[in-house]
Amino acid sequence: MTHTRLTQLVQALLDAPTSNETVKEFAQSWINAEGTPNAKDIKAEGAEFCDCPGCVAAKNIIDLKAEIE
């Protein structure tokens, strides 16, 4: 998945009228972290996610994917 596509999906979560408040907070924190020097530096070093609360939450969910399905 490209970063552009991931950003689109996170934005869709934020824009969806049926997303609950927790999901919207996660999506907004991820969007807010995008473009920050810290996020760019961490990603430039090869990390798939930065260390913002949104990315940490997303990574935790991805890591638990097998248990969720």
Domain boundaries, position 45: 3-68
Tokens 């994917």 appear where? Answer: 65
- At residue 25, does pLDDT exceed 70? yes
Q: What is the CA radius of gyration of the chain?
A: 12
- How many Cα atoms sit within 13 Å of 8 on the Cβ side? 5
- At residue 17, does pLDDT exceed 70? yes
Q: What is the pLDDT of residues 54-67, one digit of tens each?
A: 788 888 888 888 78
What is the token pair recorded at 26? 């996660």
The reported pLDDT for the residue numbered 16 is 93
Q: What is the pLDDT of residues 33-54, one digit of tens each?
A: 777 767 778 878 888 777 777 7
Chain-centre distance for alpha carbon 36:
14
The reported pLDDT for the residue numbered 69 is 61
Number of domains in the chain: 1
Overall residue count recorded for the chain in this entry: 69
